[in-house]
Structure 1
Amino acid sequence: MLPGLSVSRWIHILTLSLLSLALASGLAYAEPATLPSLSIGVGTATKPGEFTTTIQIFFLLTILSLAPGLLIMTTAFTRIVVVLSFLRTAMGTQGAPSNQVILGLSMFLTFFIMSPVWQQINNEAYQPWKAQQISQTIAIDRAIMPVRRFMLSQTREKDLALFVSLSNLPRPKNANDIPTLTIIPAFMISELRTAFQIGFLIYIPFIVVDMVVASVLMSMGMMMLPPVMISLPFKILLFVLVDGWGLVISSLVKSFG
């Protein structure tokens, strides 16, 4: 780790870097930007400082390879992908839709839900920093605040209090006193809890269909016929008739309101 930078500051820097890449590519409705060129070469270090800089660059690249996971866990992606996985399991369609489709839909729904947050970061932090109106430290502080507000709005107080107590921190006076490293895990378990609640509600109508089909087959004496084979077309038909995709996606988006 570079001297003088704490773990929390590294998290802030990596988050700003990833959001900057997303904003520059137009995901947050930013103005089109020219793509930078990158040239990496291997040579002989003639000074100790050059060797230290090389080690720092490789260390930064290693951290950036793990940063997408950090960015995913601080957005709406976790709740969306878990709910869609529950939906596929409840329908019993196994590989339909495929993992690629679920991940792609979850990613673009995440962009849709997080676009106001990223647009705020673009307007308040990225563009002023790009125009050299503010320093990098101020840009990082401004960029992390919208993300913190989003996570806090979706985090239960009970989960937040749990990680505050586990970290042995003094009782915070307000949300600004809570470290970002404490908010992230609390936000993650709150997202998982909400996703499991939505998944339970999704399971109910499909279980009813399975029970009805199983009861009918038993009453007809067709004990050897798997109920799942008969109920699957009815579950797909029910899902299509009630516009299931529209209901699920609408509920997911509104759950972040």
Structure 2
Amino acid sequence: MIRYLFFGFFLFVPELIFAKSSLHDVMNIPSNLSVSTWIIRTFGLFTILSIAPILLIMVTCFPRFIIVFSILRTGMGMGSVPPNLVVISLALFMTFYVMSPTLDRSMEMGIQPLMNNQINETTAIKRIAEPFWVFMKNNTREKDLSLFMNMAHSSNRNTDITKNDHIEYRILIPSFMVSELRRSFEIGFLIILPFLIIDMIVATIVMAMGMMMLPPTSISLPFKIIFFVLIDGWGVLVENLVRSFV
């Protein structure tokens, strides 16, 4: 038994000694990177991917699209048409369409230099986040920024946002999200108003005809659908949503 243990020891010791070089060869790790650095980078990448859905909601235009599409579906009286999968997919692709310039700048400024080992991880994170900071700043109301800045700096209630060259993310992100929610409801109100008028007209006609037992919503639904189709509703809605971003 002892003989087999010695045999196994001398068999695997060379593998342990040359493990570092073999890992570089097997995993295609650059020669100027250590194994530990490569592992840390890989772990960081998987961490970012795991919180990608949260980042998608916090720093992009996805909330505006998904809320407006949901309000449209509710206003037309179709609870499950289009299906949730279709609505979310459309909102995702429209988000990528609007955010593509920001993503390109982030890739060019931070990700590509990091992959080429021109900058370190700390600098890369700052450069990657910078285009998103600009996007959020341009699409955030000054009133919302002032609100969160005053709450963060409670000792100085007269904080001037125009004098801040770089607003902290803990202030900018909630301000941006509140602004997106406000704009989404504003757009949703304008969308749902014509459908409400159609419902009221149909309900009045049904009541005047004495058809009390007939649900007005079942009669108004075809009129709302044909109205939305005739005005090219999807095209108008998507175009104005895209143009609403700075």
Amino acid at match of 1:181: R
- Name the CA distance, whole Å, in 2 between partners of 1:201 and 1:236: 17
Distance of 1:237 and 1:132 partners within structure 2 = 57
Aligned with 1:176: secondary structure? coil
Aligned equivalent of 2:243:
254
Aligned to 1:163: 148
Which is helix-richer, 1 or 2? 2
Which aligned pairs between 1:91-130 and structure 2 lie closer than 5 A? 91-130=76-115
For residues 168-224 of structure 1, give each alpha carbon's deviation from its aligned partner in whole angstroms, at most 9, with x where no partner exists.
276366343421111000100100000000000001110111111111111111122
What is the identity, as a one-letter code, of the residue corresponding to 1:186? S
Distance 1:60 1:252 in 2: 32
Compared with structure 1, are the counterparts of its residues 87 and 238 closer, same or farther at alpha carbon in structure 2 (3 Å cutoff)?
A: same
**Amino-acid identity (%):** 48
- In structure 1, runs of 5+ residues without a counterpart are 1-36, 38-49
Q: How many residues align?
A: 205
| 1:135-170 alpha-carbon deviations (Å, 9 max, x no partner) | 222222211111001001110111111111122276
**C-alpha distance in structure 2 between counterparts of 1:71 and 1:220, whole Å:** 51
Q: Which residue in the other structure is 2:205 paired with?
A: 216
* Mapped contact 2:56–2:62 kept (Cα < 8 A): no
What's the offset of the Cα at 1:64? 5.3
CA contact (8 A) 2:110 2:125 kept: yes
CA-based RMSD: 2.4
* Aligned mates of 2:51, 2:102 — CA distance in 1: 22
Residue 165 of structure 2 is aligned to residue 176 of structure 1? yes
For 1:88, the equivalent position in structure 2 comes to 73
Instruction: Give the letter aligned to residue 243 of structure 2.
Output: K
Deviations 1:112-157 (A, max 9, x none): 0000000011112211221122222222221111100100111011
Aligned match of 1:46: none
1 CA distance for matches of 2:69 and 2:164? 31
* Larger CA Rg, structure 1 vs 2: 2
TM-score, length-normalised on structure 2? 0.76
2:224 to 220, 235, 239: 235
Q: Structure 2 counterpart of 1:256, which letter?
A: F
Alignment partners' CA distance in 2, 1:60 and 1:112: 23
What residue in structure 2 maps to residue 145 of structure 1? 130
Displacement of 1:62: 6.8
Are the counterparts in 1 of residues 140 and 179 from structure 2 also a CA contact under 8 Å?
Answer: yes
The residue correspondences of 1:11-22 to structure 2 (distance < 5 A) are: none
C-alpha distance in structure 2 between counterparts of 1:162 and 1:134, whole Å:
36
Amino acid at match of 1:248: L
Query: Would the alpha carbon gap of residues 246 and 213 (structure 1) be closer, same or farther in structure 2, given more than 3 Å must change?
Result: same
Is 1:198 the counterpart of 2:183? The answer is no
